Amino acid sequence: MVTARAFRWPSALRGKKPCIWYGGDYNPDQWPEDVWDEDVRLMLKAGVNLVSVGIFSWAKIEPQEGLYDFAWLDRIIDKLGKAGIAVDLASATASPPMWLTQAHPEVLWRDERGDVCWPGARQHWRPTSSVFREYALSLCRAMADHYRDNPYVVAWHVGNEYGCHNRFDYSDDAMHGFQRWCKKRYATIDAVNEAWGTSFWSQTMTEFDQIMPPRYIGEGNFMNPGKLLDFKRFSSDALKDFFKAERDALADITPDKPLTTNFMVAASNAPVDYDDWKGEVDFVSNDHYFTPGEQHLDELAYSASLVDGLAGKNPWFLMEHSTGAVNWRPINYRKEPGQLIRDSLVHVAMGADAICYFQWRQSRAGAEKFHSAMLPHAGEDSQIFRDVCELGKDLKTLSKHGILDTHLRQSPIAVVFDYKSQWATEQSATPTQEVRHWTESLAWFRALADLGITADVVPMGGDWDSYRAVVLPSVYVLDAANAKRVRDYVVAGGRLFATSYTAIADEHDQVGLGGYPAAIADVVGVRSEEFVPLGNDYEAGMDHVDLDNGAVAHDLVDAISSVAPGVQVLASYRADAWSGLNGMPAITLNQFGEGQAAYLGCLLGERGLALSLPAVLDAMGLNYSKADDRNEVLRVERTDAKQENGFVFYFNRTRGLAMVQLEGRALIASHAQVNDSEHTAALEPNGVIVVAI
């Protein structure tokens, strides 16, 4: 069993008090040195106390093989440190320099057709290349040796966003790595054949060297699902092994400096298995970029909650987010007034003790020149910079009042997120391409928020069975060990919500037999014989099904053929007789051991869930807000270890004015008006109030 690294947080500079870290990526090598003093002046004005340096600076640090130039980096680190600004120093290995790839084109990754990813962007390296690893580790050791005693470097920033661009590599290096990975995992080729079901389509292998990556097989064809799922596992592990090699090269020389790498946790993003990676860092860090539109706040809170779940309620570091527009969407919308401060405080509310941006000064050239920054093209006299300064003051206020002594208070309900289930639902040979694990997880988080419950989002490997109630939202992959956890949890008195498309397959993507959801059929007390996908892609098709509680199912419903004795049917379908669904159970509740298990045999979306859940919550004895409509305010609480002191954050979820009864003394009010005499506040759109309790 792998032991997780002990939690270690970057220490404050000598003579400084610990506080919320605040700053962003800083790329001084993009600017002439006469700009650096101006940068430091404005950083101090904004309240910046930490910057990440050198992330994409390999070519500047090592302009020729074996020739290192640290002089410029020394000057800027010294300038920052003497001003009281700490440095999170990168290993600088995220993108290799041109001299390396020109001399060793074999380090470049290949796509599924065998085409080379040529230099010209970033992350154009393959994690299984021994040649690239040798060069990268040489740089890591040189960096660590040079900065081992530097008092201004408080942490190592290892790599950058592993798998953002090089998640999958189909080269021969990757093929050999995949073969070794399969041999380690399965020991025998017969076990691989059994796991992947290779008797189908005559795919049986007799030697490990017959295993290939899932390379291009022609348009409209279908890759073996078991192989696909394992290749995603392998790809995550290959990147993790490369990270660990870099981490260990740095740690061997600088054991006193904590190390991290920036995850990319977002509702729709699962490039690697962060549930597996979380124990490999000294502290969890994340990069998150907002989703434009009406999901903006809820998706941000959902993702931040998942990061807190990965961090195990230890403090975590928001390494990147944006002050405004990004540069990589077809349309790059700006942030609305108030959202710069509001978004940052959502991360703080969810457990972040560090708030950083990409980047400090907005670039003039390059692919990210239109990506917003703390200091925009418009300069110091700009609303973005004024908001950056205001946020800096807000974070100092929270630090002064003791927020570092608190953590996100545990919710009564956990929504489980599972990376393997997300990967499996991404495959093309499924009942419907309209269903993904992440969309159902986010819908549940939002629906519970509509009912006044701010759920915790917890990875499958986390302690979700310590919660009063647990949601398994289309957790497609459920292996025997986790099925036992579910069973033991409910037997002991837990309350379970399971949905359609849950417990369909095991860890090899092999379907359980006897009806869905086979692995926990006895727990939920229902049996479904087939899926009923819903759509409108043919004439007279059925794109929705009504429930008798007023909700509407979409995308997928279960044909529940039987329920166990004693199961309560809380809602049924209303449909035309020809559909075979009319009167069929849609939502059920089963007593199992000392606990209860609700089964929602359809996908209802946020509004359908918010409409349907009160009856289930009432039956389970769980409290919720009985508001007539969508709850206007997202309430999040951070508390100390004794749950005696803390902070309550109130965020307006609407486009209108939201009123809130305050539970303590207001410390921060952004786009909000506080009435101290009545202990109430009016939150404008994108408004936030933070009170001390």
Q: Which residues are annotated as a binding site for substrate?
A: 122, 160, 328
H or E element: which one contains 415? strand 413-417
Give me the torsion for CA of 37, 41, 42, 45, rounded to 10°.
170
- Cα dihedral across residues 635, 640, 641, 643: positive or negative: negative
- Are the C-beta atoms of 482 and 335 separated by less than 8 Å? no
Count of alpha carbons within 13 Å of 167, Cβ hemisphere only? 15
At residue 242's C-alpha, the angle toward residues 12 and 72, to 5°, is 50
H or E element: which one contains 285? strand 285-287
Among 46, 66, 14, 25, smallest CA distance to 382 is for: 46
Which residue type sits at 257?
Answer: K
Assigned token pair, 283: 């502290």
Q: Is 315 helix (H, G, I), strand (E, B) or coil?
A: coil
Q: Is 598 helix (H, G, I), strand (E, B) or coil?
A: strand
H or E element: which one contains 443? helix 437-450
The residues that are catalytic are 161, 320
Terminal C-alpha separation, the chain = 41
Paired residues of 652 in beta bridges: 633
- Burial classification of residue 236, based on how many CB atoms lie within 10 Å of its CB (0-12 exposed, 13-18 middle, 19 or more buried): buried
Report the distance separating Cα 580 and Cα 596, nearest Å.
Answer: 28
- Cα dihedral across residues 660, 289, 160, 460: positive or negative: positive
H or E element: which one contains 157? strand 153-157
